[in-house]
């Protein structure tokens, strides 16, 4: 099969198009013909080596986490899917590789594609949808009437999280450029802060939840806009001890994570608020919940641009530039 791979960690290095063997199909997996694959910042970070301590992949590695496609075959233990089903998923860690013609996905990570969506629209959802769900529903347990601040509202996670928070009945604040204000308002943002001219710490106060995706300076401010008992859920770090335990990381790696987040956790405790780190995971059951919301019209995918498979490197560079509104997708079939 054709696939885009890299052979060693290197910042901003181009992927190479290669002929690779079809993935081996395990008993609990489904072989999917990739029709479209979403591009995420995570793809670039893995290629750059930012996660090599906690996700030590073997080389050469086929990159890509989001997939929408058609089932080709199923393992003997698979019961929910059959050849011909249109499906989508966030591929599991250590089984990624959606920048290819075929991928094997665990049955437990897969869901039927939402009706009415194109393959490209479906491929834009899994990673950002599950990130928003796990941050707002699972970790923060966001409730009707609460206030949530979602950073970078026009990005992939932001465009999805705003809609999910609005569906849950929360008041939503976000940051965006003036040019993207209308977009995030159309998705459900109540308060839009122009990050180029305004400081969100001067605008927001007594928030219940912050979904943090920016740098350390923004994280420190985020802790201060919370009311007592509020919480920051960060998808950009620093990792916390609980994450190291979940990974079952070696003792030295867990120690490093504890030290990296020590200052943030100390400041959070002094302010009477909580801090946690989220590294989202594949989850088919949660994806089915998201499917229901999409099919009900509560959430719509926001796709900025679709690139052909041959232009996968251009798509990655476009995402890395940080100007995409919503998601960027490559069309494989």
**Exposed (0-12), middle (13-18) or buried (19+): which is 238, by Cβ within 10 Å?**
buried
Q: Please identify which residue in the block is written with the tokens 């802790």.
A: 223
pLDDT of residue 91: 98
Is residue 288 a part of any domain in this protein?
no
185 HSE (CA, 13 A, CB side): 10
pTM greater than 0.95 (yes/no): yes
Question: What is the pLDDT, as a whole number, of residue 54?
Answer: 82
Same domain, 135 and 111: no
Residue 323 banded pLDDT, cuts 50, 70, 90: confident
Rounded-to-integer distance, Cα 260 and Cα 100, Å:
35
Task: Examine the fold and report which residue of 261, 277, 293 is the final residue of a domain before the chain moves on.
Answer: 277
For 257, which DSSP code?
Answer: H
Rounded CA gap, 186 and 267, in Å?
35
Q: Output the six-digit token pair for 138.
A: 């699972």
192 bridge partner residues:
174
Whichever domain contains 74, its CATH number is 3.90.180.10
How far apart are alpha carbons 212 and 326 in whole angstroms? 17
Q: What is the pLDDT of residues 268-311, one digit of tens each?
A: 999 999 999 999 999 999 999 999 999 999 999 999 999 999 99
Tell me how far apart the alpha carbons of residues 79 and 103 are, in angstroms, rounded to a whole number.
Answer: 18
Q: Mean pLDDT across the chain, nearest whole number?
A: 96
**pLDDT band for position 252 (50/70/90)?**
confident
Same domain for 115 and 156, yes or no, is: no
135 and 264 assigned to the same domain: yes
CA atoms of 185 and 189, how far apart (whole Å): 5
**Residue 228 sits in the same domain as residue 310:** no
- Whether 286 is in a domain gets the answer no
Q: Are residues 141 and 269 in the same domain?
A: yes
The set of residues, in sequence order, having a beta carbon less than 8 Å from that of 19 and lying 6+ positions away, is 1, 2, 3
Kindly state whether residue 292 falls inside one of the protein's structural domains: no
Share of residues in the chain with pLDDT > 90 (%): 91
Average of per-residue pLDDT across 201-222: 97
| 153 found inside a domain | yes
Distances (CA, A) of 184 to 26, 34, 191, 301, 325: 42, 30, 9, 13, 10
3-state secondary structure of 146: coil
Q: Tell me if 283 is assigned to some domain.
A: no
The pLDDT of residue 306 is 98
Q: Look at residue 262 and give its three-state secondary structure.
A: helix
| Residue 294 belongs to some domain of the structure | no
53 shares its domain with 135: no
Same domain assignment for residues 114 and 134: no
In this structure, the answer to whether residues 85 and 6 fall within a common structural domain is yes
Instruction: Report pLDDT digits (tens) over 186-204.
Output: 999 999 999 999 999 999 9
Compute CA 179 distance to the chain's CA centroid, rounded to the nearest angstrom.
24
What range defines the domain where residue 7 resides? 2-124+301-331
Contact 232, 219 (CB under 8 A): yes
Task: Report residue 113 as tokens.
Answer: 């594609």
Q: How far apart are CA 161 and CA 81, in angstroms?
A: 29
Residue of 153, 154, 155, 136 lying closest to 144 (CA atoms):
136
Domain count, the chain: 2
> Is the same domain home to 316 and 257?
no
- pLDDT, average across residues 16-25: 97
For the residues of 56-82, what is the DSSP string, one character each?
A: -PPSSEE---EEEEEEEEE-TT--S--
- pLDDT at residue 241 greater than cutoff 90: no
Report the CATH number at residue 238.
3.40.50.720
Residue 248, pLDDT above cutoff 80: no
Please tell me whether residues 155 and 272 are part of one structural domain: yes
Does residue 296 lie in a domain region?
A: no
DSSP E strand boundaries for the chain: 2-6, 16-19, 29-39, 61-62, 66-74, 86-90, 102-106, 110-112, 147-150, 171-176, 191-194, 207-212, 226-234, 274-277, 303-308, 327-331
- Looking at the fold, whether 236 and 141 belong to one and the same domain comes out as yes
pLDDT at 5: 98
The pLDDT value recorded for residue 111 is 98
The residues, ordered by sequence, that sit 6+ positions from 326 with a Cβ below 8 Å of its Cβ are 124, 154, 155, 156, 159, 301, 302, 303, 304
Co-location of 255 and 306 in the same domain: no
| 214-223 mean pLDDT | 96
């Amino acid at each position: 099969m054709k696939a885009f791979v890299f052979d060693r960690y290197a910042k901003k290095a181009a992927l190479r198009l290669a002929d690779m063997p079809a993935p081996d199909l395990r008993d609990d997996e489904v072989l999917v013909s990739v029709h479209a694959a979403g591009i995420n910042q995570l793809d670039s970070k893995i290629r750059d080596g930012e996660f090599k301590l906690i996700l030590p992949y073997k080389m050469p590695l086929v990159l890509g986490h989001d997939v929408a496609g058609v089932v080709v075959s199923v393992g003997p233990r698979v019961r929910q899917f059959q050849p011909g089903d249109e499906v989508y998923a966030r591929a599991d860690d250590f089984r990624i590789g959606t920048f290819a013609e075929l991928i094997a996905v665990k049955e437990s990570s897969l869901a039927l594609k939402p009706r009415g969506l194109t393959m490209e629209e479906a491929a834009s959802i899994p990673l950002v949808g599950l990130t928003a769900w796990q941050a707002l529903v699972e970790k923060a347990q966001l409730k009707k009437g609460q206030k949530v601040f979602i950073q970078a509202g026009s990005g992939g996670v932001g465009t999805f999280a705003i809609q999910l928070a609005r569906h849950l009945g929360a008041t939503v604040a976000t940051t965006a450029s003036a040019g993207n204000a209308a977009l995030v308002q159309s998705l459900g943002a109540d308060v839009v802060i122009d990050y180029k001219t305004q400081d969100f710490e001067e605008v927001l106060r007594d928030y219940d939840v912050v979904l943090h995706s920016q740098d350390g300076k923004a994280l420190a401010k985020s802790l201060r806009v919370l009311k007592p008992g509020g919480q920051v859920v960060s998808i950009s770090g620093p990792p916390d001890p609980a994450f190291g335990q979940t990974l079952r990381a070696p003792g030295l790696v867990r120690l490093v994570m504890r030290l990296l987040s020590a200052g943030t956790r100390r400041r959070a405790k002094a302010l009477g608020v909580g801090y946690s780190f989220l590294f989202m995971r594949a989850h088919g059951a949660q994806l089915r919940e998201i499917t229901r919301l999409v099919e009900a019209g509560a959430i719509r995918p926001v796709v900025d641009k679709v690139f052909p498979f041959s232009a996968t490197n251009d798509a990655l560079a476009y995402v890395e530039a940080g100007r995409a509104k919503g998601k960027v997708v490559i069309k494989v079939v």
